[in-house]
Structure 1
Amino acid sequence: MRVNIFQNIINHKINTITAEELLKYADQFHITVTQKQAEKIVKYLKGKKINLFDDTQRAQIIREIAKAAGPQTAKEVNKLFTELVK
C-alpha cells in the first residue's frame, strides 16, 4: 500500500509540475534544462495521466520530450525521472 501511495504522489507531481519546479528538481539532481526547455516539457506533461513507474509510458514521454526540447534534454530529463522512480 505504501508503495502505491508513493507512486501516486510522484505521478501527481509530474502531471501538475510547473516549469519552475522542473528547473528546481533539475538543479537538485545536477541536470541541465533551460527555462525554454522546461516550459516545453511542462506543456507536454500538463493534463496527461502519466505513470512514470510504467517503463513503456516513461519511454513514450521521453520520445515526446525529445521532439519538443531535443534529444540531449530528453536524456537529461530521463535521468531525473529515473531518480524520482528509484
Structure 2
Amino acid sequence: MSKLLLLPLMRWAGKLRYPTLFKVTAVAFAVSVLWPLDPIPLLDEIVLGLGTLLLANWKRRGGPAPIKTDVAQRR
C-alpha cells in the first residue's frame, strides 16, 4: 500500500536537480524530527526515499581537468 502512495512522489522528486532536492529533503527531515506527532503519513519513508535520491544525484565537483594533447603540434 505504501508503494502506491510513495511512487508518484519519488518520480516527481527524481526529476528535481540537486539544490532543490536537497532543500525538499532538508525540510521534510526537519518536520519529521521537530514535530512530535506524525503530521504527514509515512513521512519517515518519504525522508528515506528523498535521501536515497539525493545521494544518487550527488555529483563530483571540482575534479581535475583532463589533459589535452595534440599530436599534430609535436611534429
Q: Give TM class, smaller chain.
A: 0.3 to 0.5
Larger Rg: 2
- TM-score by length of structure 2 reads 0.36
- TM-score by length of structure 1 reads 0.33
Q: Which structure's residues are more often helix, by fraction? A: 1
Larger RCO, structure (CA 8 Å, separation 6 or more): 2
